[in-house]
Structure 1
Amino acid sequence: MSDRPVPVGALLRAAPPDRLPEVVADLLRRHFAAGHVEVLVTDLTLRRLAPLLASDGPDTSPGAMRCLGSQRVGTETDIGGRARLHLPLSCWGERLGVLQVDLEGRPEPEEAEQLRAVADELAVALRAADRLTDRYRRAQSQERLTMAAELQWDLLPGRSLGDERFQLAGQLEPAYDVRGDHYDWALNGDRLTLTVLNGAGEGLDAALLTVIAANAMRNARRRGADLVEQAELASDALHARYDGGLHAATLLLEIDLVGGWVDAVDAGSPHCLIGRGSEISQVRLEQQLPLGMFGEARYEIERFRLEPGDRMLVVSDGVHAATAGGTTTFGESALITALRRTRLQPPAEALGTVMRSLRDFHAGTEPEDDAVMVCLDWRR
């Protein structure tokens, strides 16, 4: 290993956006005498990792998946003392994948710290390069997306976000055929804005409606508008386009990350649940008109409060109202049980567990609706 500092950030910024994995692999081989190097990115379902350097299929090895879930460096040593490191690739809480590095032996603490720094720099570069090349999106997609799903995934802010105050994650299902369901978030100082939206209609029509609603709310939010103004601008935009024929059931939330107060506008069907200790309860809000149902609709803010350690889950009707073969709904029979099982898991893993429970609930039958879940842990 060279004693000179490794200018990995400068190398990545100078590299073409589609060549970042090769730049890092070359650096690791030259400065750390690494053998095998692989950059693994998560697929859209978060159940597999796709290699960027090899032509092999998805990687589901336990070491890589443990690293993705725990967000901790993992080391496996073979009988000859050679070590395989799995380093998490994450940026502002977003889990992008895993950097896999083979070394002649376990790294010393200083070397391990340098390797973690390489992984961190690569994660930031991958996030920045995502819209400049199709390489990483192509690897993430194990199947061809529908046009509606392409619009929805491109509209998302990411799949995770967090710092020392909170951890947030969201997921869409079915990943390759999602239609009108959507979530959005933005962090500004001590205020976290979160929306979950269920657009009416089917296929591309539902996705286009969602695009209009989400961008109208973003337009209002980015000029400093509160939740009422965001809801009213989006409602007016949808009504002007569809004349009430299509609308979007939406829950708008703004969380004070210091005091835990949550401002809410409930404009439709998404449900909000709070996990506090061993108890899980639904937040009862006054349901107002879905966005776009009527012209010049007016909305009001309600408030509730989170306590440190609370978990908040927001789910669309494709989750809480899902039925399978005419049985009771998922919200009535299995959702609370799934949430209790995930209480010790971080939000991203918890969503995966609940989504698996939802797929098991459908028992192989095709869901009638797409589904969105967003999970927030408030740490204060």
Structure 2
Amino acid sequence: MVDGGDAARWLHLNAARGGPDDLSLLVNRVAPAIGATHMVIYLADYTQSSLVPLLGAGAPRDELTIETTLAGRAFTGLQVQRAPDHPDRLWVPLLLGCERLGALEIVSSRAGDPALDRPAWEVAVAVAQVLVNRRLYGDVVERIRRRLPMQVAAEIVWGLLPPLTFATDDLVVTAILEPCYDVGGDIFDYALNGDMLSVGLFDTCGHGIKASAMASLVVSAYRNARRTGLDLIDTAISIDRWVRSEHPGMFATALLAELDRRTGLLRIINAGHPAAMLLRDGKAVRALPGPTALPLGLGNLSTRRPRAHEEALHPGDRILAYTDGITDARGDDGERFGLDRLVDFVERALNDRLPSPETMRRLVRAVLAYQQDQLDDDATAMFLEWRPPHLPLGHLEHLTAPDRTIVSP
């Protein structure tokens, strides 16, 4: 019986002995423990369109497209993949929690044996944990993930973002933003403290360094207010004051929300932002009311305090939030992508039972294709999903049933 747990523990114990550049060598040293000859780490690039090999040990590998390869299927579907024409290998998603990092190729004469799936999952989880830890101390992972030079404004924003996906047994938060290498004004944040999930989505005015500097201030002020213990309304007031103090004449639209994971009660402030959509049973039910406050930075123009709308979510409900770069994208004929296309796309994705992170990835790819891969504005979308424990999350099933495997025809 192959014990992936022993291999995973060995990885954790020995990870500190090498630098970030040694990760491929480290992973291949543990490969024989699960009956593999070697393993190759593939990392998703920033656009989530390619899987790029982290080389340094084992046979050379080429970059793989996510849309057309088995490795890509492992990444998008969060399931082990194997194929009859490659009987000596399988591909396992690299996940940190539910944050998709890439895929792990395992080459083994036992690759066709389903008994290898559990140790493969255990090793893949350990590889993902070590990968995230070691990338803090070097740039090799960042360099591999970048297929184009990243502008300084985007560097600022990406350095402030939380993981794109976070999930528990009853919550999912997932987001995506484009253009990856030139984003400047859009930013988001979230935090789970006890039973309260806090979420913020911001769209600052302007472009480039000025917009990213303001985005940095806005998200830092949001975190400071949240960590100080301010309620939702006072948080909006605090951010507004900081924007007026440090960036007079500028503003940011925002959605600030709190979700009580026990009851499903959502409280949301819309500060001049596109209205979030409520989705239920695979359909868009309605847009949530808004705006309930002026854009952040313009609070001095009104004597009214921000108001929070309350919405009682049903089990399984989703909230879709987005910036205007999604709906304002224009095709060749000048027609906007628009709210109708956005809703239609998301409804079809839900009916196809796609994992929420994959829905976001495909949405931004569709928006990019609509505007010939040339966005005029930052485009960000975020999904918030509430499922009490009696409604299992489909994309977490692999954690309790690691033998689920897809065999390609």
2:290 paired residue among 282, 285, 303: 285
- CA change 1:115–1:235 in 2 (3 A) is same
Q: Which residue of 2 aligns with 1:9?
A: 12
- CA change 1:32–1:286 in 2 (3 A) is closer
Question: Higher relative contact order at CA 8 Å, sep ≥6: structure 1 or structure 2?
Answer: 2
Matches of 1:296 and 1:9, distance apart in 2: 55
Pair 1:348-2:357 in alignment:
yes
Q: Which residue of 1 aligns with 2:250?
A: 246
Does the CA-based 8 Å contact 1:276-1:310 persist in structure 2? Answer: yes
Shift of 1:107: 6.2
Matches of 1:322 and 1:260, distance apart in 2: 33
1:359 paired residue among 368, 371, 378: 368
Q: Which residue of 1 aligns with 2:397?
A: none
- CA change 1:14–1:271 in 2 (3 A) is farther
Q: Which residue of 1 aligns with 2:190?
A: 185
* TM-score, length basis structure 2: 0.85
Q: Which residue of 1 aligns with 2:346?
A: 339
1:37 paired residue among 36, 39, 63: 39
- CA change 1:340–1:15 in 2 (3 A) is same
Pair 1:269-2:273 in alignment:
yes
* Residues 1-380 of structure 1 mapped to structure 2, 5 A cutoff: 5-6=6-7, 7-28=10-31, 30-53=32-55, 56-60=61-65, 62-78=69-85, 82-106=87-111, 111-243=116-248, 245-280=249-284, 281-295=286-300, 298-324=305-331, 327-343=334-350, 344-362=353-371, 364=372, 366-380=374-388
What amino acid maps onto 1:340 in structure 2? E
Shift of 1:46: 1.2
Shift of 1:258: 1.7
What amino acid maps onto 2:134 in structure 1? A
Shift of 1:144: 0.6
Shift of 1:271: 2.7
Does the CA-based 8 Å contact 1:77-1:84 persist in structure 2? Answer: no
Does the CA-based 8 Å contact 1:271-1:316 persist in structure 2? Answer: no
- CA change 1:169–1:365 in 2 (3 A) is closer
Shift of 1:335: 1.1
Matches of 1:49 and 1:287, distance apart in 2: 42
Matches of 2:240 and 2:142, distance apart in 1: 32
Does the CA-based 8 Å contact 1:43-1:49 persist in structure 2? Answer: yes
Shift of 1:270: 3.5
CA deviation digits over 1:4-39, x for unaligned, max 9? 9332221224433442232111210x3234234210
Shift of 1:327: 4.1
Matches of 2:333 and 2:247, distance apart in 1: 32
Shift of 1:57: 4.5
Query: Comparing 156-165 with 17-26, which one deviates more in the overlay?
Result: 17-26
Matches of 1:9 and 1:110, distance apart in 2: 23
Does the CA-based 8 Å contact 1:37-1:100 persist in structure 2? Answer: yes
* TM-score, length basis structure 1: 0.91
What amino acid maps onto 1:320 in structure 2? T
Query: Comparing 107-116 with 305-314, which one deviates more in the overlay?
Result: 107-116
What amino acid maps onto 1:311 in structure 2? R
Query: Comparing 150-159 with 332-341, which one deviates more in the overlay?
Result: 332-341
Does the CA-based 8 Å contact 1:99-1:119 persist in structure 2? Answer: yes
Give aligned-pair identity as a percent: 29
CA deviation digits over 1:264-295, x for unaligned, max 9? 11112233112112431211223311111244
CA deviation digits over 1:55-110, x for unaligned, max 9? 6552125211111111112223447xx42111111112111111111101236555
Q: Which runs of 5+ in 1 are unaligned?
A: none
Does the CA-based 8 Å contact 1:197-1:248 persist in structure 2? Answer: yes
Matches of 1:321 and 1:111, distance apart in 2: 48
Shift of 1:221: 0.9
Does the CA-based 8 Å contact 2:96-2:128 persist in structure 1? Answer: yes
Matches of 2:255 and 2:2, distance apart in 1: 54
Matches of 1:366 and 1:355, distance apart in 2: 12
Does the CA-based 8 Å contact 2:292-2:307 persist in structure 1? Answer: no
Does the CA-based 8 Å contact 1:319-1:358 persist in structure 2? Answer: yes
Matches of 2:191 and 2:212, distance apart in 1: 21
Q: Which runs of 5+ in 2 are unaligned?
A: 389-409
CA deviation digits over 1:123-169, x for unaligned, max 9? 11222223221111111111111111111111110111112112221
Q: What SS is found at the alignment partner of 1:338?
A: helix
CA RMSD of aligned residues (A): 2.3
Q: What SS is found at the alignment partner of 1:74?
A: strand
CA deviation digits over 1:238-286, x for unaligned, max 9? 111122x111111101111121111111112233112112431211223
Query: Comparing 232-241 with 206-215, which one deviates more in the overlay?
Result: 232-241
